[in-house]
Amino acid sequence: MALEARGSGLGIDERRAAILALLDRESTVRVSQLAQAFSVSRVTARGDLDALERAGKLRRTHGGAVSLSRQLTVSVQERRVNVNAGAKRAIAHEAARLVSDGESLLLDSGTTALEFVRALSSHSSLTIVTADLTIAEYVDRSMPGCDVVLLGGLLRKAHRYTSGPLALAALAGLRTDSAFLCPGAFAPERGFMTDYQSMAQLKHEMLHAAGRRYCLIDASKVGAGGLMRFAGPGDFEAIVMDRDPDGIVAGQTEGLGVRLVLAQA
């Protein structure tokens, strides 16, 4: 394209002005896209985006930026991405050991699930089934040796996942090797919770569409509030956590044959 043809001859100010012009047309840009378009390194492209954010011209996102003038919503994932990030990464890397090359897996929505799929980047020949658009985009962009199946349905825009009858119907026809679910909360004596009926239904059906079921949950969610129950402790083969506050989860799973795995941060 024309931008590529003249990109390498631009000075810093011209290049940054061109980035803003591109953002005005497309609303979002990626670091990899800018590096190719302007014939610069990714480090330089990130530096340009950081400088433009400091100048109040755009907002940085993971791997790119969005236009301030045309952005309508900030996704829930973007708001939560740095919350308990270390714990989520530790859980993700521990859970990745449960996956073998060539397997098919159902993957939940949310920031813990996103960290998990990043931890799978060294795996090959995986088939990842998800309702989460951010996860599907990551697999498409960063895991060329893996396939992604995106469930259909109604898009919950700010949350970037699909749900509803179409998603449930798609799940009814699937059988994967494993499922990895990420609850919003664990309530003692009740089980694993989420705040939304549509997500509770989706998570419940994911459990029944997989041969092995795993739960990924960080300690901050133990005892947190949740409206809808979608599973009990005994519905999983293993629960992967960063830590178990006051041994609550261990106490609730005792005698159920569920393995509690504590990840090392």
DSSP state of 263: P
pLDDT class for 2, splitting at 50, 70, 90?
very low
- Pinpoint the alpha helices (H) of the chain: 2-7, 12-26, 31-38, 42-54, 76-80, 85-96, 111-119, 133-142, 165-172, 197-208, 248-253
The average pLDDT across 161-175 equals 94
Give the sign of the dihedral formed by CA 7, CA 58, CA 46, CA 90: negative
Name the residue ranges covered by the structural domains of the chain: 12-67, 77-262
**CA distance linking residue 178 with residue 203, whole number of Å:** 13
Judge if pTM exceeds 0.85: no
What pLDDT, on a 0 to 100 scale, did the predictor assign at position 6?
A: 43
What are the residues whose beta carbons fall under 8 Å from the beta carbon of 98, sequence distance 6 or more? 178, 212, 214, 238, 240
Q: Identify which of 20-24, 65-69, 76-80 has the greatest average pLDDT.
A: 20-24
User: Mapping DSSP to helix (H, G, I), strand (E, B) and coil, where does residue 151 land?
Assistant: coil
Give the sign of the dihedral formed by CA 148, CA 153, CA 157, CA 158: negative
What pLDDT, on a 0 to 100 scale, did the predictor assign at position 77?
A: 54
Describe the crossing of helices 12-26 and 31-38 by its angle, rounded to 10 degrees.
Answer: 130
What pLDDT, on a 0 to 100 scale, did the predictor assign at position 1?
A: 35
Quick: pLDDT tens for 34-50. 999 899 999 999 999 99
Q: What are phi and psi of 146, to 5 degrees?
A: -125, 155
Q: Which helix (H) or strand (E) holds 191?
A: strand 191-194
Quick: pLDDT tens for 73-95. 445 555 555 667 899 999 999 99
Kindly indicate whether the domain formed by 77-262 is annotated with CATH number 3.40.50.1360. yes
DSSP state of 157: G
* DSSP calls for 199-257: HHHHHHHHHHTEEEEEEE--GGGBT---SEEEE-GGG-SEEEES--GGGHHHHHHTTTT
User: Mapping DSSP to helix (H, G, I), strand (E, B) and coil, where does residue 189 land?
Assistant: coil
* Residue 52 confidence (pLDDT) above 70: yes
Query: Side chain identity at 189, as an amino acid letter?
Result: E
Quick: pLDDT tens for 119-143. 999 999 999 999 999 999 999 988 9
Query: Side chain identity at 127, as an amino acid letter?
Result: T
Cβ 158 vs Cβ 76: under 8 Å? yes
For 12-67, CATH number out of 1.10.260.40, 3.40.470.10, 1.10.579.10, 1.10.10.10 equals 1.10.10.10
Quick: pLDDT tens for 189-214. 899 999 888 899 999 999 999 999 99
What pLDDT, on a 0 to 100 scale, did the predictor assign at position 223?
A: 92
Describe the crossing of helices 197-208 and 165-172 by its angle, rounded to 10 degrees.
Answer: 10
